[in-house]
Amino acid sequence: MDSHDLLTIEVEDAHSAARQGHIKLSRGTVATPFFMPIGTYGAVKTLAPWEVRELGAQMILSNTYHLYLRPGMDLMAQFGGVHKFMGWDGPLLTDSGGFQIFSLASLRKLDDDGVTFRSHLNGSLHRFTPEKAIDMQRVLGSDFVMALDECPPGDSSAAVWQAALERTTNWARRCLERFDATEPRYGHPQSLFCIVQGGTDPKLRRQSAEELLALGSGVSGYAIGGLAVGEPKEALFATLELMNALLPGDKPRYLMGVGTPADLVRAVALGMDMFDCVLPTRNARNGQLFTPTGTLNIRNARYRTDLEPVQAGCDCPLCLRFSRAYLRHLIMIREVLGLRLATAHNLRFYLRLMADMRAAIQAGQFRDWSQDFLRQYEGEQA
Ligand SMILES: [Zn+2]
């Protein structure tokens, strides 16, 4: 399959780099820009796959590292992949495991060939190489496969970032050699993404992007990694501006692990197409609810007798039926229903935000829409 056929851009915004289009996959067509709920262990925490679908999710994300440790790739192979295992028949992206190794596992040995690490669960010893990352994602059968990358800590020196990006390029080349896009898995084609690294140093980011572009057309899309690790917001957006200038317009751009609703609006304006983030699901379980005027902490005592919905006009299962007072009660006693309803609201908020952005771009009104959204969300300073 010619990877250039993956993304079709329908509308480009006249006042920013925002673009609206679709990605055609064998498990369904995904409208861009879009947000992927995270199903780390083969489940979006607290929700069934049909609920995730009803909330508006088009594609979800799962984690190679976690599924490799539990329940293991042998079971994934028996099931014929992660889709059948978890009952999600739509498009699905798996990460390579790189980020989890570098953030969760105790690192034993990193070398040019791969990385040996100890499981964060029981200390058992494992080794990932670029080839193994591809082989595992072949077993998982994900629609989008990520190349293995090295993710140094956010406060690393330029020398560490440079070594990491060069290793990431070499690993991406090896992933591409291992990956065979012409051979469908479980009857569905897979597409390979490579990950741009380089921290917030424009010179290193450019080097990383140019080296990955030189790998050629076998790469279906580009992810931007190593951000949202504590860098200032200006550095994040400056990096995205550079990525928008360097990355080809006809392939999807995936901004990994970002971010707040305001971050997503600004990143879409800088030409980003795909997003994932733990914020909506994790914050929900902590009682933090997203609304158009900012986040609301439902644990606050002022909501104990508040009969209003979390967000007036929201079409989620929480806001349609229940009050802030009831959700606060459920969250305070850690009732599972409270976690489910809060998660549903936050995911619906994110997924509706993406749908609103797509509609605004299509209507040629993205600039006005995003100014209004940011003014309301961030208050007077926006
Ligand atoms: Zn709601």
Q: Are residues 309 and 345 in the same domain?
A: yes
What average pLDDT does the chain have? 96
Neighbours of ion ligand 1 (CB under 5 A): 311, 314, 316, 318-319, 345
Distance of CA 332 from the midpoint of ligand 1 (Å): 18
Which of 249, 277, 305 is the last residue before a domain boundary?
277
Could you confirm whether 372 is annotated as catalytic?
A: no
Q: Which residue, among 293, 268, 243, 292, has the nearest Cα to 367 in the 3D structure?
A: 268
Q: Which residue has the higher pLDDT, 8 or 153?
A: 8
The reply to whether 112 and 253 lie within a common domain is yes
In terms of DSSP H, where are the helices of the chain?
A: 49-54, 64-69, 73-79, 82-86, 98-103, 130-140, 158-178, 202-213, 233-246, 261-269, 279-285, 317-321, 324-332, 336-362, 366-378
- Indicate the pLDDT class of residue 381, thresholds 50, 70 and 90: very low
Q: Which of 13, 95, 149, 263 is catalytic?
A: 95
Interval between CA 13 and ligand 1 midpoint (Å): 29
What is the CA(319)–ligand 1 centre distance, in A?
4
Q: What are phi and psi of 132, to 5 degrees?
A: -70, -35
- Res 254 pLDDT > 90: yes
- Co-location of 154 and 254 in the same domain: yes
Q: Verify that 293 and 272 share a domain, yes or no.
A: no
User: For the residues 125-150, what does the mean pLDDT come to?
Assistant: 98
Assess whether 128 and 225 both reside in one domain. Answer: yes
Looking at the fold, whether 259 and 337 belong to one and the same domain comes out as: no
Q: What is the mean pLDDT of residues 217-227?
A: 96
Domain end (from 261, 277, 293): 277
Task: Tell me the average pLDDT across 12-30.
Answer: 98
In 3D space, the residue among 261, 352, 251 whose CA is nearest the CA of residue 19 turns out to be 251
| Per-residue pLDDT band at 382 (split at 50, 70, 90) | very low
Higher pLDDT residue, 318 or 381? 318
Mean pLDDT of 60-67: 97
Distance from Cα 315 to the centre of ligand 1, integer Å: 6
Distance, CA 311 to ligand 1 centroid (Å)? Answer: 6
Give CA–CA dist 297/288, Å, rounded.
Answer: 5
Q: Which residues form the domain of 139?
A: 3-277
CATH of the domain at 21: 3.20.20.105
User: Does 77 share its domain with 197?
Assistant: yes
Catalytic residue (one of 13, 74, 276, 315): 276
CA 49 to chain centre: 17
Task: Indicate the pLDDT class of residue 333, thresholds 50, 70 and 90.
Answer: very high
Claim: this prediction has a pTM higher than 0.85: yes
260 pLDDT higher than 70? yes
329 close to 350: Cβ distance less than 8 angstroms: no
C-beta separation of 39 from 61 below 8 A: yes
Mean pLDDT score, 254-276: 98
% of residues, the chain, pLDDT over 90: 92
Note the pLDDT of residue 5.
78
| Contact by Cβ (8 Å): 186, 140 | no
Q: Which of 277, 312, 328 is the last residue of a domain?
A: 277
Residue 154 has a pLDDT of 83
**pLDDT mean over 352-378:** 98
**Number of domains observed in the structure of the chain:** 2
Question: Where is average pLDDT lowest: 63-67, 225-229, 330-334?
Answer: 225-229
For residue 2, the model assigns a pLDDT of 47
| H or E segment and range at residue 109 | strand 106-110
Shared-domain flag, residues 268 and 331: no
For residue 380, what pLDDT is reported? 58
Domain match, 273 and 289 both:
no
Would you state the pLDDT for residue 105? 84
Stretch 1-23: mean pLDDT? 88
pLDDT value of residue 34: 99
SS3 call for 289: strand
Q: How does pLDDT run across 156-211, given as a tens digit for each residue?
A: 899 999 999 999 999 999 999 999 888 999 999 999 999 999 999 999 999 999 99
Mean pLDDT value of segment 352-360: 98
How many angstroms is it from 312 CA to the middle of ligand 1? 8
Whether residues 89 and 140 share a domain: the answer is yes
Q: Are residues 95 and 135 in the same domain?
A: yes
Q: Tell whether 234 and 362 lie within a shared domain.
A: no
Decide if 95 is catalytic.
Answer: yes
